[in-house]
A and B are shown apart, each in its own frame.
Chain A
Amino acid sequence: MDSATKKNIEDTLTAEIALILSKDANAIARDESLHSMGMDSLSFVELLVSIESNFNLTLVNTNLDREDFSTIANLARRIYEELHEK
């Protein structure tokens, strides 16, 4: 997914989170924190697994700091940067 735009990444993440949390993708706000959406340790790791499979990025052993991971928008930005650094 080298040519992924931030919008594509956000769409993919939204769809994955909707699947993990059994929610309607349209009801998911991209600037809402994953915690307030109802994510916990297990569902967050599920999301990391889906990021690996969709973007070929293994993030589990990075610092996973709140700044980059707390919202879909932030996470999409981080993934975009990682993909373009490769």
Chain B
Amino acid sequence: MKSSMKNKRYLTGVDWLIHVFDHMNRKTIESGNEFHIVLKVDGVVQVDFFENDLNAFLQKYSVFKGKVARAWNLAPFWKVRQDQPIVQTATQTTEILDLSEFDLCLDGLIKKHKYDPSCYLFSDLIICKGQTFVVFTFSHKIFDGLGGELFLQTFQNFSTDRTGFKVEEQSTEPSHLDKWTEKFRSGRTINRALIKMSPERRLRSFPLDAREDSNYVFARVHFTEKESARIIEQANKKAGYLLVMPFLLARTVQIFSGLFDKRGFDKDNIVVPVTVNARKEEKKAKKMFFNHLSFLFFKFEAEEMGKPERILTSVKEQLFDQIKNKFSKQFMDNAMLMRILPVSLLSKLLGLYSKGAMASFSFSYVGETVYKSDTFLGQPVSNLFHLPRPSVPPGLGVIFSNYKGKLNLTISYLNNIFTEEDIDYLKSGFKKLSDE
């Protein structure tokens, strides 16, 4: 079999949750659960060359011909329809005169792509003053953030040496219809933990007016190598060796708390789900498709706000406790139990935990990129960053990524959550990280 994907691949509980988020998004803002990765290339990428390579590359992976189905045992699975073509949309190329037009241009391009549930990847090129921003839009149904980066690296490998390119066999997934006692125990643990997280009053979250015509806005801060090194040094010093993620999460909570105060919100608790990679180190290069991630949940008491060191200690303690109790593994096991429920019902149940406000915002730290090439289609790459489209609610997410020593921050939000003044406040708070 030439294809890397057999005709059937069971979905994990987390994969199923991703479908639920997709359903929730489509119901409110008519947009699927997707994310973008942008490669900033110092040169002009030729669209014909790019499309030709991409089309040939996609044909290697029959996963793009798939859709969800239910097996006789009721477990959802990814059904590959070998007789179907791979749905692709044409790459759009737009030229802009100034980088300040980038965000507006990106937004326009994304809106032009009509949502198609059978299309799992599309791409756009934005050219500005001899540079190309290659924007890939990935469906979370078959990609997570790290998988998206791995896809780009594998595509680059293919493009560099088509004849020597070998399709890496993708790992399969069993039905996971076993170890029920263990799963039910995990379910009980997670249920208790989420109820504990759920505040007595509403948690601190920004009012969300999600409508069909809502769109995402991406506020970005790109740190230079020097600034990034300074932030990482501060993280090592203040949080501890290698504890960059806890440091960035603590500072993010602090900065957002300042904005809540500025807007006069009640001093309620802040709850932040954090996405974590669940791939074993040796499987990192093999698991390109589907979602190999889990979640940790952090709760910050209203009394902790305004005390940066207290917040940092709280992040470290909560992280330690959750890792000690194997929370992320238990979350994944618990999610397996949810696969029986249809996405529409599950989306309603998820809302019950927190009276509609799922979280204050979501947070992710992708860490050092798995895209290791210095070039993309023969042109030097100067940066790579993520633009997530966080689920609604809360429709607000923060992501940090690290491209070869350069930290990139994106605050993704639905357009009516923040004013320009709010965004200036957040950006200036994050820029100060390199001055600590």
Contacts and interface: CB of A to CB of B under 8 A. Distances in A.
Interface string B239-254: 1111111100000000
State the main secondary structure of chain A at its contact with B.
helix
A7 to B, nearest CB: 23
B323 interface: yes
State the main secondary structure of chain B at its contact with A.
helix
A41 B317 contact: no
Given A41-B246, A60-B316, A61-B316, A49 B323 contact: yes
Instruction: Give the most central of A21, A40, A46: most B CB within 10 Å.
Output: A40
Nearest to A64: B240
Contacts of B242: 34-35, 39-41, 44, 69
B70 interface: no
A80 to B, nearest CB: 18
Interface residues of A, number: 24
B324 A49 contact: yes
A74 B236 CA distance: 16
Interface string B253-280: 0000000000000000000000011001
Interface in A1-49: 21-23, 34-35, 38-42, 44-46, 48-49
B119 interface: no
Contacts of A64: 239-241, 243
Nearest to B242: A44
B244 A22 contact: no
Instruction: Give the most central of B236, B283, B368: most A CB within 10 Å.
Output: B236
A66 interface: yes
A52 B365 CA distance: 26
Given A41-B245, A52-B324, A22 B282 contact: yes
Contacts of A44: 241-243
A25 to B, nearest CB: 14
A66 B239 CA distance: 11
8 contacts: A35-B242, A40-B244, A41-B243, A42-B277, A45-B320, A48-B320, A64-B239, A69-B242
Closest A-B pairs by Cβ, 9 of them: A64-B240, A41-B245, A44-B242, A69-B241, A22-B282, A22-B281, A60-B320, A49-B324, A66-B241
